[in-house]
Structure 1
Amino acid sequence: MTIHIGAEKADIAPTVLMPGDPYRAKWAAETFLTDTRCINQVRGMLGFTGTWNGHPVTIQGSGMGMPSLSIYANELIKDFDAQTLIRIGSCGGMQKHVGIRDVILAMTASTLSTPSRGIFKELNFAPCADYGLLAAAHAASKSKGVPTHVGGIYSSDVFYDERPDLNEQMVRHGILGVEMEAAELYNLAARHGRRALAVLTVSDHLITHEALPAEDREKSFGDMVEIALQAAFAPAG
C-alpha cells in the first residue's frame, strides 16, 4: 500500500489505464474488463483490476491536472512496478480538421511547466510517447474505423485559460488538442524507463466551439478505451 493507493502490490497489473475521472475508471472497468474488483478507494480515487482477453489490467483514476497524475503515476511505477501506463481522457480540439468524437494519439506533449520542472531546471525537455504503443494504437484505430490524428498536444496547467495569444501560437504550430495530464506522464515514463501513451477523445473544440452531447460520450469514450487496450497488448512489431 502507499499513501494514495490502498492496494497490495499483487493487486496492480503491469498495464494501467489512467482516466482522470474515478467514475470513468469504474465505468471502463465494468464495461471492458472481466472478473473486476475494486482495489483502491483512498480519497475517492477509485481503482479497479480485472482481465481483458486474458490479460491483467488495472484502471486507476488520476484526478485532474499534472500534480495529481504525478502522485498516482509515481506510486504506480515506484511501489507497484507498473510497466505500461496509458492515459485515457477527453481533450479540446485545436485544429479545424480535428472533429468532435475524433481520437488524438499524443506523440508529444508541450507545456508551460510540469511537476518535473524542478529536475530539468533550464532544460526544455521534450516528453514524448512510447513509439511501440503509438504505432499499435494507430493501427487499432484504423482497424476500428475511428477518425484518428497523431501529433503534438498541449498539457495545460489551468482549465480556465485566459491566454488567447498562446492558443493562437499553438494552433499556428499544429497542436492538435489540449488536456491537463499527458506531459507529466511522459516525463515520468522517460525517467523510469516505462511505456506511456495518451489516447484522447475530442469532447469539445476551442475553434468551432462545438461540444459532444452528454448522451453521446459513452460510445465515443468506449472507442478510446478499446484502442488503448489493443495497443497495450499488441504483439511487438
Structure 2
Amino acid sequence: MTVHIGAKPGQIAETVLLPGDPKRAEWAAHSFLEGVELVNDVRGMLGYTGTWNGHRVTIHGSGMGMSSLSIYANELIRDYGAKTLVRIGSCGAMQAHVALRDVVIAMTASSISTPSSAILREVNFAPCADWGLLHAAVTAAKARGVNPHVGGIYSSDTFYDERPDLTEQMTRHGTLAVEMEAAELYTLAARHGARALAILTVSDHLQTGEALDSTARESSFGDMVEIALMAAFPE
C-alpha cells in the first residue's frame, strides 16, 4: 500500500494499462479481462487486476496531466514492480490526414516541461517509446485491420491552451496529435528501466473542430485496448 494506491502486495500485475479516466479503467477491465478484482479505489482512482488470455493485467486510472500520471507511474513501478506500462487514452489530431477514431502510436513525445524537468535541468531529454512494444503494437494493429499513425506527439501541460502559435509550429513539424501524459511516462520508464508506450484514439481535431461525444468515444476505444494487450503479450 502506498499513499495513493491501496492495493496489497501482489495485487498489481507487472503489465499495467493506464487510461486517464478511472471510469474508463473500470469499463476496459470489465470489457476485456477475466476474473476482475478491484485493487484500488483511493481518491476514486480505480484500479483493477484480471487476466487476458491467461496473462495477468492491471488496468489503473492515472488522472489528467503529467503531474497526476507521475504519481501513479512512480508508485506502480517502484512499489509494485510494474515493468510494462501502456497508456491508453484520447488525443487531439494535429494533422489533416489524421481523422476522428484513428489510432495514434507515439514514437516520441515532445513537451514544454514535465515533472521530471527539475531533475534533468538544462538537458532537453528526448522521451521515446520502447521499441519492442511499439513494433508489437503496430503489428497488432495491422492484424486487426487498423492502420495506425506512428510518429511524434505533443504532451501538453495545459488543457485550455492559449498558444495558437505553438500549435501551428507543432503541426508544421509533423506532430501527429496532442495529449497530456506520455512524455512523463516515457521519461519515468527510462529512469526506472521499465517499458512504456502510448496508444491513443483520436477524439477531437484541432484543425477541423470535430469531436466525438462521450458515447462515441467509449465505443471507439475498443481497438486501442485490444492493440495494447496484444502488444504487451505478442504471440
Which of the five TM-score ranges fits, normalised by the shorter chain? over 0.9
Q: How does 1:11-26 map to 2 (within 5 A)?
A: 11-26=11-26
Q: How does 1:1-237 map to 2 (within 5 A)?
A: 1-235=1-235
1:208 CA displacement: 1.2
- State the secondary structure of the residue aligned to 1:10: coil
Q: 1:176-211 CA deviation, whole Å, 9 max, x = no partner?
A: 000000000000000011100000000000011111
CA distance in 2, matches of 1:214, 1:77: 31
Which residue identity does 1:218 align to in structure 2?
E
- State the secondary structure of the residue aligned to 1:104: strand
TM-score, length basis structure 1: 0.98
Which residue identity does 1:76 align to in structure 2?
L
Q: 1:8-50 CA deviation, whole Å, 9 max, x = no partner?
A: 1200000000000000000000000000010000000000000
Q: 1:203-226 CA deviation, whole Å, 9 max, x = no partner?
A: 000011111233322231011000
CA distance in 2, matches of 1:135, 1:198: 12
CA distance in 2, matches of 1:81, 1:50: 16
Aligned-residue sequence identity (percent) comes to: 71
- State the secondary structure of the residue aligned to 1:11: coil
CA distance in 1, matches of 2:109, 2:33: 29
Which residue identity does 2:160 align to in structure 1?
Y
Which residue identity does 2:33 align to in structure 1?
L
Which residue identity does 1:14 align to in structure 2?
E
Q: 1:138-196 CA deviation, whole Å, 9 max, x = no partner?
A: 01111111231000000000000000000000000000000000000000000011100
Q: 1:53-83 CA deviation, whole Å, 9 max, x = no partner?
A: 0000000000000000000000000000100
CA RMSD of aligned residues (A): 0.7
CA distance in 1, matches of 2:70, 2:218: 26
Unaligned 5+ runs, structure 1: none
Which residue identity does 1:81 align to in structure 2?
G
CA distance in 2, matches of 1:84, 1:215: 29
CA distance in 2, matches of 1:219, 1:133: 24
Which residue identity does 2:225 align to in structure 1?
V
Which residue identity does 1:112 align to in structure 2?
I
TM-score, length basis structure 2: 0.99
More displaced stretch, 211-220 vs 157-166: 211-220
Which residue identity does 2:41 align to in structure 1?
Q
- State the secondary structure of the residue aligned to 1:161: coil
Q: 1:78-128 CA deviation, whole Å, 9 max, x = no partner?
A: 000100000000000000000100000000000000000011100000000
Unaligned 5+ runs, structure 2: none
